[in-house]
Amino acid sequence: MNTAIRLSTRRLAAAVVAAIAVLLGVGSTISAPSASAAPRTTLSSYLVPGSQLTIYHSDGSSSDCTAGPGVSFGEKRRGIITSGHCGEDGDKVYWVDDNGREHRVGDLFRPIDKMVNFVQYDFALVPVDSAMIDTPVAGKYNPTTYITGAEIANIVKSGSTIHLCSYGITSGERCGDPIIENTYGSYPRITSTFRSDHGDSGGPVYAKRTDGSAAIVGVLRGQENSTMNSVIVPIEPALDMYNVKLSISRR
């Protein structure tokens, strides 16, 4: 089995960076996370699937990942799915807006990164204030439904064409052909021929529809060492585990 490279980025704690800077004889300025601020009024100003997340860990270090699909749960509560390997339970999550400002949005909730019934689980829930979040992927494609791994497998088996795309904070949007393996598990293993890079972890994976909308497939985990194909975690187990629904409209 190919080993996937998990593609979050992790930075040193501020104190360590400062110490290295002193040794090198250079200055080092690291800003503390800013307090939450009211979102701006344009669509791109909302936290959307494909936005940058900076996650601060208990040891003072931080990681950059990409926000995945939006979800809803409970009484008008909202959230996003991202990669489980981006942090630990309770890590502080900040959304970085288009102007580079950080906004506190929530904590990582019950991240998981392990094999379950022959399927790689790698996702986490981040509950978010509904006023800060919107659903279009990268502010462009409104998700109208999700497509299961079994459905993708059937499309591939039938010889029909389907392209899977993802949006990440490092690589932007890229698309490729799906590759289906391990159909004996609870969910088939899905990879795609597009490339990914550090920071893209957690980004939404979707199939674009002819009407300009998107069918959500899952979230990006990483990139295989041998093939350099991107590894996709299907959305269904995340929806089941957190008892949430895919968000398809702003309110």
Mean pLDDT check: name the lowest of 186-190, 204-208, 227-231.
186-190
The tokens for 8 are 């979050």
Q: How confident is the model at residue 215 (pLDDT cuts 50, 70, 90)?
A: very high
Kindly state the average pLDDT of the residues 47-62: 96
Same-domain pairing of 54 and 95: yes
Tally of domains in the chain: 2
Task: Render the burial of 58-90: b for 16+ CB within 10 Å, e for the rest.
Answer: eeebbbbbbbbbbbbbeeeebbbbbbbbbbeee
Q: Is residue 89 part of a domain?
A: yes
Same-domain pairing of 70 and 184: no
Same-domain pairing of 61 and 40: yes
Q: Which residues contact 195 (CB under 8 A, 6 or more apart)?
A: 171, 174, 223, 228, 230
- Which of 68, 103, 132 is where one domain is finished? 132
Same-domain pairing of 112 and 222: no
What does the H/E/C string look like for 52-113?
Answer: EEEEECCCCCEEEEECCCEEEECCCEEEEEECHHHCCCCCEEEEECCCCCEEEEEECEEEEE
Contact 8, 52 (CB under 8 A): no
Residue 150: which H helix or E strand, with range? helix 149-158
Same-domain pairing of 102 and 73: yes
DSSP state of 229: P
114 beta partners: 121
- Which of 104, 132, 160 is where one domain is finished? 132
Same-domain pairing of 154 and 190: yes
CA distance 123 to 120: 10
Does this model's pTM top 0.85? My answer is: no
| Residue numbers of the domain that contains 78 | 4-132
Q: Which residues contact 174 (CB under 8 A, 6 or more apart)?
A: 165, 166, 194, 195, 196
Same-domain pairing of 91 and 180: no
Whether 238 has a pLDDT exceeding 90, the answer reads: yes
CA distance 169 to 7: 11
Q: What angle do CA 84, 1, 208 make, to 5 degrees?
A: 55
Residue 233: which H helix or E strand, with range? strand 230-234
Highest mean predicted confidence (pLDDT) among 11-15, 34-38, 190-194: 190-194
Same-domain pairing of 95 and 67: yes
What digits encode the pLDDT tens for the residues 126-147? Answer: 999 998 999 999 889 999 999 9
Q: Is residue 114 part of a domain?
A: yes
Same-domain pairing of 192 and 119: no
What digits encode the pLDDT tens for the residues 22-40? Answer: 222 322 222 222 223 333 3
Same-domain pairing of 35 and 122: yes
Provide the pLDDT for residue 139.
87
Looking up residue 52, the CATH number of its domain turns out to be 2.40.10.10
Provide the pLDDT for residue 42.
38
Q: Is residue 200 part of a domain?
A: yes
